Amino acid sequence: MKKLIVLVTVTVFCLACMAAVPSVSVTNFGDERVNCKKIRVGVNKAHVTLINGEKKIIPLEHLESYAVNGRIFEKKELYKYGRFAGETAFMQLMKKRGGFSFYKNEELDPEKVGTEKSRDVYYVYNGDDLYLRVDRKALPNACNFFGV
């Protein structure tokens, strides 16, 4: 009898875990905000699977931001050596404080040869303008300021 109760309890628990709400992604393109089940961002376009199962292909120039698993990615202008490089990238929004936003971007490292060819680069934006590119020495202070 005890084994039966334990078996039923474990079965109900497993069914409850399987019935959990799946993670939902949110995509902003243009003035429209769309909830989607899955998103894959490529070089020129994003492949989006909507909640109802419909699949869409969205050009990256129309996509403004997206969120996956609670992480928000926003399109920001890239700056190199303090000047606009003519490129944009989807950077992960780490935190906002006041008018400042703290972003993380994964960039290729030309000095590395192995499998780890990318590095995390951190930026602080004031609105849409770059305020500061955070180096290794300033990273602990920036994380402290934003509470990350």
pLDDT of 88 strictly over 80: yes
Q: What is the dihedral of CA 39, 40, 44, 45, to 10 degrees?
A: -30
87: Cβ contacts below 8 Å, ≥ 6 apart: 77, 78
Indicate the pTM of the whole model.
0.67
Question: Helix, strand, coil proportions of the chain in percent (round to 5)?
Answer: 15, 55, 30
What is the rounded distance in angstroms from the CA atom of residue 88 to the CA atom of residue 60? 10
What is the reported pLDDT for 117?
73
pLDDT of 92 strictly over 80: yes
What is the reported pLDDT for 23?
44
Mean pLDDT over all residues of the chain? Answer: 74
Are the CB atoms for 129 and 139 separated by under 8 Å?
Answer: no
- Average pLDDT of the residues in 115-142: 82
Name, of 18-22, 60-64, 68-72, 121-125, the range with top average pLDDT.
121-125
pLDDT of 68 strictly over 60: yes
